[in-house]
Structure 1
């Protein structure tokens, strides 16, 4: 049985405490009124932006131009919403990212069951431990969705009722036409169905796996096989809709038919990477005696392969939209290239160039420090990927990596470590009666 070390537990608490302080500071320091925004804009280090703003304000005041003054006030409100969104968006990105890591592990576990893979059963309890975060992450994330639906933030512009009123100057015909699907209550109902479905599979599959240890036949294994097959059908549908609802809808004027696959590849490779890192940590502490370099090699192959798959999807989406040059589509990338140049292209280097260069070598896939280094880079790169998906639509050009972003990352990392390693103490790390356990114990590549 695994024992959660006091040092690691203390480390997780420290991360959570520092994270809460960073998140709290980001909310406290966010502007509360348009007057605060004017002060921030006036002190903006970007001289061009400040000069343009001052000229706009002066023209509106001196000429007593009501229209210009109204536009100026509307601009201030827009910037206020963006700056007030920043701490919310930071928490949202981190909460979503860590929850989806756990979901990615769950999908990988289900695939191993359905494929009747002979190499992976010695890693099943590691996977089950990592999926223990899913219920906790789901509750936190659903609370964030509810807070968004009840207008505690402005992350989702389509929730503004003024956009649906034909008599209002802000009326948006495209968003109004989507209101049958994009409305707060239906959106929350879909979210509840997705989260409950994923967590039910996680609960019953683990229950059956533990029951199989004490069984005299393979009945529980067969139940898991059938349940995993059904789950994967449910998962592939709900994952696509989830990516539209929770990520793509922050840009309600933009859509991509490839987006569900793109998001899946991002959190799927992140989940596999976390399996590899957790396995290496447990192995270094003297656990998982039957895990050998061949198991690590296979995990590293998945890290490499899904990284290439993610790059293929990224390029396919980018190239087709850029080449077609349809204004409402290409704006998505123009915004990110102009306002998020470093994280946009930096993320591509972290998620493709780096893993491609170090994991293409077969021997490197068995070297612990290389896998750890590559894994950390991949995880950070895909966090930036989710950052790029959410921030431009919610924060605009007012982004920077501050207390809110760092604090959110630290808090959810600490919570993830605490939940996962506590779950690993609840059951033996080796399934006893899985039909393929002996093959897995003696797996060599």
Structure 2
């Protein structure tokens, strides 16, 4: 049946048109305006001192800006690395159905080099305002601020240097994770484009081997990144399934992003090999992992709730009992579980592009709310919330991310024409 695949244009490229760029710059502009309004309101509105009361500091507007930078850095980094992860999964599992769309998955990784720079710079600028454990007095037994629990965890950040000096161990981990993630992304990219020139199956086998190495590294690095970048904000608290929890939130958001991108390309008349069966499979992934995310959310909540150990339950108490964050717990569950679950339950809903687009957009916004709930209460206390600054920053990052991903996608061919399983992808039917 080889002739069936051949009548498609396998040398298709995505044309990043001026109109598409204009649309993205419009969103970026709106986001920037909202962000500036939010910053001005925060400067002149002032903050109450109660958030910083624990540390005896007044609250400053830039702390909210830093918290927002951190939320979006972590969130969009996750979506980018999930693209590379899902690409690697297809090769490790020897999957054929996805052959026509693997380059769309991989394209999300184009954001990783920028994400790494943003993350490291934000940490150096804002670490004192984001991470309580960066204050040297916590490790000084003579100080009134001495904290034995944080002192006990100090080596995880500062080894081999003295606690409370420079968190070299933490920074090395961040640099290593981004370094390896970018390395694997570039490796996969060069191998898949090389396959177009070389033909045969050798590239496929090589990518499969590299995928196995990447998946092992990803399993460890994604969990440790979740502890470092998110869990350490609430330094006293810990959850043994937190790495899984962050991964599941990233994964659903990443799947929604890939699906939107594929539907967008289909709308441009590209990827004609991709039919409603492929779209249905993506819908099933989103549906399934939405339930997986909810299962982890509930497991973490239920065990902490009924064990009722003060140092564990404080995490949920400061969110649920807060006037600012309490309502968002329910928004989070509605946007990330209740609505996707009900909306994607039928077979037809997973096959119709318009419907899926709406659900994907809701999930991308919903999982941002999830990260907002992980970061803001521990960094801003009562001074947080969702306002112009939050919405603006989310739109600025979203537009920049999309611009970088589409620019990367436009550089190479969309379909891996020599992929040994392209025939299977073409004939995919469920």
| C-alpha displacement of 1:76 | 8.8
Q: How does 1:249-398 map to 2 (within 5 A)?
A: 249-339=232-322, 340-398=325-383
Alignment of 1:156 onto 2:131: yes
Q: In structure 1, what is the Cα distance between the partners aligned to 2:277 and 2:53?
A: 60
Residue matched to 2:163 = none
TM-score, with length taken from structure 2: 0.91
Q: How does 1:42-53 map to 2 (within 5 A)?
A: none
Q: In structure 1, what is the Cα distance between the partners aligned to 2:97 and 2:421?
A: 8
Q: In structure 1, what is the Cα distance between the partners aligned to 2:87 and 2:234?
A: 32
Structure of greater Rg: 1
Residue matched to 1:182 = 157
Alignment of 1:401 onto 2:386: yes
Q: Number of paired residues?
A: 408
Q: In structure 2, what is the Cα distance between the partners aligned to 1:209 and 1:76?
A: 52
Against the structure 1 CA distance between its residues 141 and 91, is the aligned structure 2 distance closer, same or farther, given a 3 Å change threshold? same
Q: Report if the CA contact (8 A) 2:276-2:351 is conserved.
A: yes
Structure 1 residue runs of 4 or more that deviate by more than 6 Å after TM superposition: none
The secondary structure found in structure 2 opposite 1:395 is helix
Q: In structure 1, what is the Cα distance between the partners aligned to 2:303 and 2:25?
A: 45
Computed over aligned residues only, the root mean square deviation of the Cα atoms, in angstroms, reads: 2.0
Q: In structure 1, what is the Cα distance between the partners aligned to 2:305 and 2:23?
A: 45
Q: In structure 1, what is the Cα distance between the partners aligned to 2:136 and 2:253?
A: 37
Alignment of 1:135 onto 2:113: yes
Q: Deviations over 1:159-212 (max 9, x none)?
A: 011111111111111111111112322111000011111111100011001101
Residue matched to 1:15 = 27
Q: How does 1:28-67 map to 2 (within 5 A)?
A: 29-30=41-42, 41=48
TM-score, with length taken from structure 1: 0.88
Q: In structure 1, what is the Cα distance between the partners aligned to 2:55 and 2:187?
A: 51
Residue matched to 1:243 = 226
Q: In structure 1, what is the Cα distance between the partners aligned to 2:54 and 2:326?
A: 24
Q: In structure 1, what is the Cα distance between the partners aligned to 2:261 and 2:86?
A: 15
Residue matched to 1:417 = 402
Against the structure 1 CA distance between its residues 375 and 247, is the aligned structure 2 distance closer, same or farther, given a 3 Å change threshold? same
Alignment of 1:225 onto 2:208: yes
Residue matched to 1:430 = 415
Q: In structure 2, what is the Cα distance between the partners aligned to 1:169 and 1:31?
A: 31
Aligned match for 1:87, one of 65, 78, 82: 65
Q: Report if the CA contact (8 A) 1:277-1:372 is conserved.
A: yes
Q: In structure 2, what is the Cα distance between the partners aligned to 1:386 and 1:206?
A: 29
Residue matched to 2:145 = 170
Unaligned runs of 5+ in 1: 43-52, 54-71
Against the structure 1 CA distance between its residues 349 and 31, is the aligned structure 2 distance closer, same or farther, given a 3 Å change threshold? same
Q: In structure 1, what is the Cα distance between the partners aligned to 2:100 and 2:132?
A: 46
Q: Report if the CA contact (8 A) 1:163-1:176 is conserved.
A: yes
Q: How does 1:120-131 map to 2 (within 5 A)?
A: 120-131=98-109
Against the structure 1 CA distance between its residues 88 and 219, is the aligned structure 2 distance closer, same or farther, given a 3 Å change threshold? same
The secondary structure found in structure 2 opposite 1:180 is helix
Deviates more, 1:139-148 or 1:356-365: 139-148
The secondary structure found in structure 1 opposite 2:419 is coil
Residue matched to 1:69 = none
Q: How does 1:60-79 map to 2 (within 5 A)?
A: 77-79=56-58
Q: In structure 2, what is the Cα distance between the partners aligned to 1:239 and 1:256?
A: 15
Q: How does 1:78-117 map to 2 (within 5 A)?
A: 78-80=57-59, 83-117=61-95
